[in-house]
Amino acid sequence: MAPRKLLLASPRGYCAGVDRAVDTVERALDHFGAPVYVRKEIVHNGHVVRDLSERGAVFVEDEREVPENGVVVLSAHGVAPEVYRHCLERGLRTIDATCPLVTKVHTEAKRYAASGYTIVLIGHEGHEEVVGTMGEAPESIRLIGSVEEIADLQITDPTRVAYITQTTLSVDETLVIIAALRERFPQIVGPKRDDICYATQNRQNAVKQLAGEVDLVLVIGSGNSSNSNRLVDVTRELGVPAYLIDDETTIDPVWLEGVETVGITSGASAPEWLVERVISYFRSLGVEQVDSHELVDEDVHFSLPTALRRATA
């Protein structure tokens, strides 16, 4: 039998940084024409990447793959300093779409390193944001992803330790790790404000409230989206079944057995039209009631990258 009701989390979907990054590629294509090259995925969503590819964006793994004097957009996740150097050496017209909140973390890393601190970066190994941040001060940064890894940290001066975090982590898990770091390094310092971005926090808070009113939560997002995966984790920790779906075609009907109310949310890199597709899928099953669970109204906007604004002025 089909579920009786859908409950939509709000806020969900695009954050200001993702909206800015996608808009940057679209406007670059409008102004410069195809091809516009994009280093890595502009955001972690396969649908978005395919749509931009169809418009003429060419996604490359390394900036050195871009033809000399070409136009290249750097992704929202941020890059290491050597990437900017390579772009300059190739004479590329570089448009930096790094999320300003990620740039803030890079600035913190450089400041702590310049002051002689050993920096503990809380994040996921191999994630593009982490790779870019570590590139700012590779000799000074130690990466950890769990409380258990703290015991293995090799710190020369335990009185000169600082921490920073990846912006898309689980808020609760990160607080536990920070508390454990403070226990081992009582003099550890950190940023005045949490590095985890407002959108990640809001979406996790929204899905926590949603979980109390549903039998199942479906999180729309790609498998390589850190913040989308954290929404699944947060929900499951509350004892509510949750699954990450790319779109409506990846919903397993077995999940819906015995379910009356389905909660729907989406990661910060998932466009709203994917939510609409999922809603249409459930309507085709006979679901008529679709309600929204409003937590907070987001009103954050980031201006387009300076290089793009100057080019299109």
Rg (Cα) of the chain, in Å, rounded?
21
**Inter-residue contact 143 to 123 (CB < 8 Å):** yes
CA 70, CA 6: separation in Å to the nearest integer?
46
- Please state the separation of Cα 34 from the chain's center in Å: 27
CA 191, CA 301: separation in Å to the nearest integer?
22
CA 72, CA 59: separation in Å to the nearest integer?
9
Peptide bond before 305: cis, by omega within 30 degrees of 0?
A: no
| Active site residues per annotation | 129
Length of the chain in residues, anyone?
313
Residue 248: HSE in the Cβ half-sphere, 13 Å Cα cutoff:
14
Angle of helix 171-184 relative to helix 198-211, nearest 10 degrees, comes to 120
Identify the H or E element spanning 162: strand 161-165
CA 220, CA 265: separation in Å to the nearest integer?
6
Contacts with 99 (C-beta within 8 Å, 6 or more apart), sequence order: 17, 18, 20, 21, 76, 77, 78, 167, 197, 302
